[in-house]
Amino acid sequence: MKKVNSYYFSVEGENEKWYFEHLQNLINNSKEAIFNVQFIIKIDKSPLSRIKAINVPVYSSQKLPVFHVVDYESSLTEHTEQFKEMLDELKYIKTKRTAYNYKLGYSNFAFELWLILHKRAGDFSVTDRSKYVEQINSLYGTSFAKLKDNKNKDTFDKLLKQISLEDVKRAICNSQKIRPYQEDIGNHMVEYKGFKYYRENPDLTVNECVEIILKECGIVK
């Protein structure tokens, strides 16, 4: 019987929760994985709130892996301030709650960017998150009129069934090309509280969270 490694998540919404539950099943059904995984997922936009809900003992000799999956929704002041407030919390955790290894997995502008990268490269940008619906429909054969149309579980499950472990590996590779693309077109990263990101679309670090897990599982090198 394979050993089971646990990972904790705080995610912004149900789509992210459903995606990582699907990823958990892909890993646990894979012959490549050297151990199984258990994802403990809570919908919570606050990293600090998520930590308070973790009811397991944490000792200084171990760092509990926790991933925070969230969107950088737009460059509007309201959204940029919300994003910075979240980074403030992560900075506090990094300096004051050192027993937790909290990793940021963000998407600019929406988690749908990560879904798109399972099927194509990210060498394109959109003006706002609503524009992702055209790519989702084209790549997954859906017929969403608006992005929020994919918030239904039965509908989203049909999309998830089209994502294999090979697709996840492809998404990681496609994601790794985005920041060199941003640099090539002349955009510059910003840094806040030790976290670096692009204000301009596209950008993400969800791929880094998934890659950490797949490497530990022995699925990617």
Question: Burial, 32: exposed, middle or buried (Cβ in 10 Å; 0-12, 13-18, 19+)?
Answer: exposed
Closest residue by Cα to residue 112 from 58, 54, 69? 69
The length of the chain is: 221
Q: How confident is the model at residue 137 (pLDDT cuts 50, 70, 90)?
A: very high
Closest residue by Cα to residue 75 from 200, 193, 189? 200
**Least confident among 34-38, 60-64, 143-147, 166-170:** 60-64
Q: How confident is the model at residue 48 (pLDDT cuts 50, 70, 90)?
A: very high
Decide if pLDDT at 62 tops 80: no
Decide if pLDDT at 60 tops 60: no
Query: What rounded mean pLDDT belongs to the chain?
Result: 93
What is the percent of the chain where pLDDT is above 90?
81
pTM: predicted TM-score of the whole model, two decimal places: 0.95
Q: How far is CA 6 from CA 43, 49, 114, in A?
A: 17, 19, 23
Q: Identify each DSSP E strand in 80-158 by its residue range.
A: 100-108
Residue range 74-91: mean pLDDT, rounded:
95
* Two structure tokens written together for 151: 């918030």
pLDDT of residue 61: 62
pLDDT of residue 40: 96
Q: How confident is the model at residue 152 (pLDDT cuts 50, 70, 90)?
A: confident
Decide if pLDDT at 78 tops 60: yes
Q: How confident is the model over 85-119, as pLDDT tens digits?
A: 999 999 999 999 888 899 999 999 999 999 999 99
d(CA 212, CA 34): 14
pLDDT of residue 21: 98
d(CA 7, CA 71): 20
pLDDT of residue 59: 62
